[in-house]
Structure 1
Amino acid sequence: MADWDDFRLVRAIAEQGGLTRAADHLGINHSTAFRRLSAIESSIQARLFERHRSGYVPTEAGRAMILAACRMDDTVAQFNRELAGQSSEPAGDVRITAPAGLATGVLMPIFAGFRRRYPRIRLELVLAEESLNLCKDADVAIRASDRPPPNLVGRRLATSNWAIYGTQDYVGRAMADSPWIYPSAAVAGGRFAAFAKSRIAAGNVAISINTVLGLREAIEAGCGIGPLPRWEADTRPNLFRLSENEPELATSLWVLTHAELRHAPRVRALMDVLATEIAAMRPLIEGTDS
């Protein structure tokens, strides 16, 4: 008979694509994971995965066990949300996800002030460009999005405006003939890549990056010109703005949570502070302070 840890292991193998990565994800060693999987298959008298050179592929029995694991995870998440909503004092853990650049450039001073005000709330920060699942992976998300998922609730904080920047060497040069650095098609649905390619002369791609992280550093190092958010670039003395705000790159900045968590004191406290502090920074974020 399989227990909860068995279901977690089988799900991890499927999601991580193999036994070694699943073991690392769960914090156990490979040999332990291998023995446990063998014991599970022996216990239920069914093979859960087909071993291929490309990875572990679930069998019909494996898919059934993975589906059950997902349902169990949903039940646990639901219980935690309901329990959090019953608390009346701001205390406990809040897991927040945000883009890496925004976290280091904008959020850290806000988090410092928040911790001084609410010392019993512990923050766990998950830096990710992609949208994480707010049911399982995070409690609060700060996202740049024009269409937040309908199952989430929150507040629109500001418009994140972008412009083209470069070092002094690129001031006065034709942008189309300059080398460009931009986020690749894997970022933001390819918005940045399409924008850049429509403005670049053939052969003038210097670097494309599969994340926004590192974009400013590459432009600041003189590798080329490229788009940056106003809040990040306008404060850098070595960067020069080469264009006005680019409407095609503007996105709304939101703070979001799951509907069942919005009244939890720890979550409400964080969302209120984020909304207040980021509203005060709106001129910088939107590029209207200069």
Structure 2
Amino acid sequence: MCNNAQMNMDDDYQYILALYLTGSLSGAARQLNVNHTTVARRIQAFEKRFNVRLFERVPKGYQLTETGKAVLPDIALLKEQQNNIERKLFGQDKLLSGEVNITLTPELANQFVVPALNEFNCRYPNIQINLLIGSHHKDLYAREADIALRFTPSPKQGDLIGKKLFRSEWGIYASDSYLKQSQSEQQVLLWALEFEPDWYLTHFTSHRIVAKFDQLGPLVTAVNNGLGIAKLPCGLVDSIKSSNLYRLDLPVTPSIWSLWLLYHSDLKTAAKVTVTKDFIFEHLSQYSHFFSGENSRYWR
């Protein structure tokens, strides 16, 4: 049986890896969902235990010392083996109880997944759903999440099992209040991750960039409030019942984005993961006509 010191040392490995990967205490803390002082304390305690220095402070953050470089491959290997064991054990779980972690974007969570949690809870009252909401991808290999709902052109498979729900078409939208105004130049709002960043040049000779957003939810809100015109995913706009947004009859380059449900192959026999992914797939599939743009309301 492992003693407490051994278990604590195994746990310290994730702090070492996180600081190496992010290069900062704050970045490691965000990755591990802890306070940055916890990261510093755990690494300092590890270094003191073995009387070594794994990291040195540099102007841009932290970097490995020669000692750190020497042991990092072994630490990474041990952590990977630990993740493999945990996934395989988790995958053998036949009980419809326990926790399932789902990583997804804020927009998917707010508009589509959270409203369905009551129904899911009625079906499976002993399964606790943990929503990991954010724009950055969680690592399914490292068991940062069990299931990922991810908009991507084509997921990198590896050991991941992927189910494509639908393609996400886009259109150019503005609010009725904005469209009723006489515009000498179009006020353009942009999304930071747009695959065709200069889309507006094709349609508007006179324009002004008003703002750029790194998340789609606030961008939709800004357009809905009349701040300007933007290229948006049809599913996020057309499914809003109280929206005053209208799609303009302007062509856009076909979308490269599709919504995928992803999980690691080691979890394919885990009962609680199976019922959760099946429920999500069944629930979200009903919105495919929104994301295809079939339900768009056009400005006439």
TM-score in terms of structure 1 length: 0.85
Which runs of 5 or more residues in structure 2 are unaligned? none
Q: Distance in 1 between matches of 2:202 and 2:145?
A: 36
Q: Distance in 1 between matches of 2:118 and 2:83?
A: 28
Match of 1:87 in 2: 93
Tell me if 1:205 matches 2:193.
no
Which runs of 5 or more residues in structure 1 are unaligned? none
Task: Give the superposition deviation at 1:74.
Answer: 1.6
Tell me if 1:138 matches 2:145.
yes
Kept in 1: contact 2:185–2:207 (CA 8 A): no
Task: Give the superposition deviation at 1:198.
Answer: 4.7
Task: Name the Cα RMSD after superposition.
Answer: 2.9
Deviations 1:123-180 (A, max 9, x none): 1111122332111221111111221112221311112222111111443789994111
Match of 1:220 in 2: 224
1:57-136 superposed matches below 5 A: 57-136=63-142
Tell me if 1:254 matches 2:260.
yes
Kept in 2: contact 1:171–1:242 (CA 8 A): no
Match of 2:292 in 1: 286
Match of 1:149 in 2: 156
Q: Distance in 2 between matches of 1:287 and 1:157?
A: 15
Q: Distance in 1 between matches of 2:141 and 2:295?
A: 37
> What SS does the aligned partner of 1:213 have?
helix
Match of 2:189 in 1: 181
Q: Distance in 1 between matches of 2:210 and 2:278?
A: 41
Deviations 1:23-80 (A, max 9, x none): 67574673x7656544543443433122223211111221334333322322222122
Q: Distance in 2 between matches of 1:37 and 1:108?
A: 37
Q: Which deviates more from structure 2 when the two are superposed, residues 110-119 or residues 218-227?
A: 110-119
In structure 2, do the counterparts of structure 1 residues 19 and 153 end up closer, same or farther at CA, with 3 Å as the change threshold?
closer
Q: Distance in 2 between matches of 1:53 and 1:168?
A: 50
User: What percent identity do the matched residue pairs reach?
Assistant: 27
Match of 2:166 in 1: 158
TM-score in terms of structure 2 length: 0.82
1:50 to 48, 52, 56: 56
Task: Give the superposition deviation at 1:258.
Answer: 0.8
Kept in 1: contact 2:28–2:36 (CA 8 A): no
In the alignment of these two chains, the number of paired residues is 285
Task: Give the superposition deviation at 1:91.
Answer: 1.8
Structure 2 residue identity aligned to 1:180: V
Q: Distance in 2 between matches of 1:29 and 1:257?
A: 29
Kept in 2: contact 1:99–1:127 (CA 8 A): yes
